[in-house]
Amino acid sequence: MNHQRSSPKRPMPSLRAASAFICVLCVLFATARPVTADEGMWMPQQIPALTSKLKSMGFAGDPSAFADLTGDPMGAIVSLGGGSASFVSPAGLIVTNHHCVQGALQYNSTPDRNLMEQGFLAKTRAEELWNGPGSRVFVTVSVREVTADILGKLDPGLSDRARFDAVEKRVKELTAAGEQGGLRCTIASFFEGMKWFEFGQMEIQDVRLVYAPPAGIGNFGGEVDNWQWPRHTGDFAFYRAYVSPAGKAVGYAKENVPYKPKHWLRVSPKGANPGDLVFVAGYPGRTARLTPYSEVKQTVEWGLPRTVERNTDQIAILEKLSQEDKETAIRVSTRLRGLNNSLTKSKGVLNGMIQGGLLAARKAQEQSLLAWIDANPKHKADYGDVLPALNALITDRARTRERDSLLAEICGGKGSVMGAAQTVYRFSIERPKSDADRDPAFQQRNWSRIREAQDRLQRSLDVKADRVLMKYSLAAVAKLPASQRIDILDKEIGLSTEMSEADADKAIDAFLRKLLTGTQFYQKDVRLACLDRSTADLLAMNDTAIELTAALYPLAEEVREKSKERSGAGYRLGPRFAGALLAQSGGLVAPDANGTLRVTFGQVLGVAPRDGLWFLPQTTLQGVVEKATSTSPFKMPEAQLSAIKALRAGKMTPYLDPVLNDVPVNFLSTVDTTGGNSGSATLNSKGELVGLLFDGMFGTVASDYLFDPVRTRSIHVDARYLLWTMAEVDGATNLLDEIEGRR
């Protein structure tokens, strides 16, 4: 296959000349149309109502196509259960972000073969690597409103706890009915519980790693460039979905065959250019634009500063461990990357909310709502008591927030031995119940997931990491005020409010030595076998992790019960609060992101992040060269350097931008996105994939709480950089043939 025949040889212009041309182009475009970001992570079925807006932006297609989840392009969009992706071939090939495949790279890495650094390419399907237990691809095939089924005929006199139970019972019944046909069913609430929808998804369980470029491309810039612009990151990778020969979603097996999706996206070799209208389809995680001001204020004053402090400390702890042991470095790698990402975003949100004035703007927004309510007797009768009641719930939760957060860290720390013991112990309590009475997380529909999680945990469980992170958490427990003490830990460790820090430190060290040497839960076979044991049998093991879990269980259960009561109050008050917001706005509003399929749209456009500075909307290979150093995170792979030199020497490529006269790397757009959108398909007006969404900008991440219509931008990797890297750097010609329909 010849990837060079479509572009004539031409000299490379200077970077200054190219930049000047782009700047003129952007200024002309900015004067022609409003330079504003486009708010709205829209439900697909809302898009037809936005036809006039789309037409005004130059869209000539049929907006109703986005509401058809079984057609083009939406039938190609999938979820990874925490990230987004899309099919790009009829043989189940999936494209997503490089940072979304870190779990698969980590699972298949060893100190001698670290795929997270080296990257991976399967030249044949036989070489594709299983992602490990628990990896999933979810293909949404149906959605319907079930508000009446959930909220209809609920007795208004129910207590908050009884209301929670009634709603949970109805959700369970609908879920069970929706899964009769073999789909994975999810019931999700929108507009603070005002609306409810049922989503049916095919749950593909055999997912394999196909291709991920080296870290020097896929994570170029690392944490230094994270959430920043300009970016030069090749944040892309490929999976493949497999099913049984009969086309059924089954677990990993050698005889499985590639899934044949009904729809897949064409990858455009033209990418995206300044002024283009683009759509992003994916699964954004959570936003809080429709929540009360008091909750946002608590997040800004307590939640975010706490995250910044604790993430900073834990990152330092894990980085020190990683430097001491290569195996530990691999085991904690995904946790470390997650902590870093959360830390940077939390700092950005704090900056935007306080220095950027968004917290004050949220307060003014709520005061406007209160004035609107007070100005009309009917509004006052309908909504006047809602905010005070919601604020009381938020205040009540704050009374034990530090204790509850630390208890969650210790009992259920992700990737920890105590987290494993917590799961196994709770499962032993829930399993004997009828399925309808079980906690939703422990219903039979989730049993295979629970087992897979304990299996996969073996690749990240590390006693050294557990020791230092638990010590860090317990040191905070020792400092809890008298009103929030965890009595069982005080007793087990020997802590008291009168102890010196040095004495508490010694007591914690002694406790951890006993705890971590007295548990068998670092052994995979033990954890898996314990999933079949009764509570009495678990306690008879005299395992220290189980004993501590059992001792903490009553308090953990008390916290869960209190949370259920507050949720029941939320089911009562939330819809009324959202109703007030919607009535005041008087127009079409996108619900807060909640992990369900959404569509957002905007234009490829630069931005002025602050006075006197203008960011161009595109970056190129020239920027990669200028940033490259001899050390990580800016160490360019030798193969990429050779490919760039060949391009500079006149080697032709169809991925050269005729205006930039270089290969575009990343671009900015005005689309509205958040965490969970990572890996989302960026589409042009024809429904072709022109890029992948992978990040936002540090200065506007607070848009999760209040959208900034002027400066908000999302960052995408251009399809041309993806294709050029595959063709000229990593030699992934087998995949190029497949993507381009030649295989």
Q: Are strands 93-96 and 195-204 parallel, antiparallel or unpaired?
A: unpaired
Amino acid at position 625, single letter: V
CA distance 239 to 57: 34
Contacts of 143 (CB under 8 A, 6+ apart): 44, 45, 69, 197, 198, 199, 200, 597
CA distance 248 to 602: 37
Burial annotation 32-59 (CB, 10 A radius, 16+ → b, else e): eeebebbbbbbbbbbbeebeeebeeeeb
Is 678 in the active site? Answer: yes
Query: What b-and-e string marks burial along 140-165, b requiring 16 or more CB atoms within 10 Å of the CB?
Result: beebeebbebbbeeeeeebebbebbe
Burial tier of 513 (Cβ tally within 10 Å: 0-12, 13-18, 19+): exposed
- Please identify which of the residues 79, 322, 416, 678 carries the catalytic annotation: 678
Q: Judge whether 3 counts as a catalytic residue.
A: no
SS3 (DSSP) at 395: helix
Q: What are the backbone angles phi and psi of residue 492, rounded to the nearest 5°?
A: -65, -40
E strand or H helix at 380, and its extent?
helix 377-383
Q: What string of DSSP letters covers 657-679?
A: BTTTTB-EEEEEE-----TT-TT
User: Distances in Å between the alpha carbon of 54 and those of 372, 458, 603?
Assistant: 31, 49, 11
Residue with structure tokens 């019960």?
Answer: 561
- Which helix (H) or strand (E) segment is 396 a member of? helix 386-398
509 belongs to the catalytic site: no
Closest to 731 (Cα-Cα) out of 720, 739, 723? 723
Residue in 38, 235, 404, 466 annotated catalytic: 235
What gap in Å lies between CA 67 and CA 599, rounded to an integer?
A: 9
Distances (CA, A) of 225 to 228, 634, 694: 5, 10, 13
How many CB atoms within 10 Å of residue 650?
Answer: 10
Q: To which H or E segment does residue 693 belong?
A: strand 689-696
Q: How far apart are CA 304 and CA 704, in angstroms?
A: 13
Angle (CA) 126-130-133 rounded to 5° is: 155
Could you give the CA distance from residue 380 to residue 369 in angstroms, rounded to a whole number?
Answer: 11
Indicate which residue of 3, 98, 99, 232 is catalytic: 99
DSSP 8-state class, residue 44: G
Q: How far apart are alpha carbons 471 and 497 in whole angstroms?
A: 17
The residues annotated as belonging to the active site are: 99, 235, 678
